[in-house]
Amino acid sequence: MLLFQFAFKYSTFTTGEVSLHVILQILGSRGDMEAKIEEATRQKIDEINRNVQMNKEKAMQRLLKLVCDIKPELHANFQAK
């Protein structure tokens, strides 16, 4: 109903070149595309979340290994006095 109201208001402001039917088709196809984009976005987010859950433990182990693997070394620019 909201799309119809918008299309009807829009058609009253035009010079008559664009019919109400054409406007409704455009708005309908735009809504379909928007729904498809939203669905694709949801699917991609779900896929990313699954990958995060699958690799979370492995990433934490690697991070802990890097943090705990301390090798004390002098800086390359260090000058003994």
pTM of this prediction? 0.47
28's CB contacts (< 8 A; 6+ apart) are: 3
What pLDDT is attached to residue 71? 86
Residue whose structure tokens are 């976005």: 41
2-11, 22-31, 35-44, 57-66, range with greatest mean pLDDT = 57-66
Range of the domain at 20: 2-66
21, part of any domain: yes
Higher model confidence: residue 63 or residue 12? 63
Selection from 6, 60, 50 nearest residue 28 by Cα: 6
Task: Classify residue 77: in a domain, yes or no.
Answer: no
Query: Is 80 part of any domain?
Result: no
Tally of domains within the chain: 1
Express each pLDDT in 47-78 by its tens digit. 999 999 999 999 999 999 999 988 888 888 98
Assigned domain for 40 exists: yes
Find the mean pLDDT for residues 21-34.
68
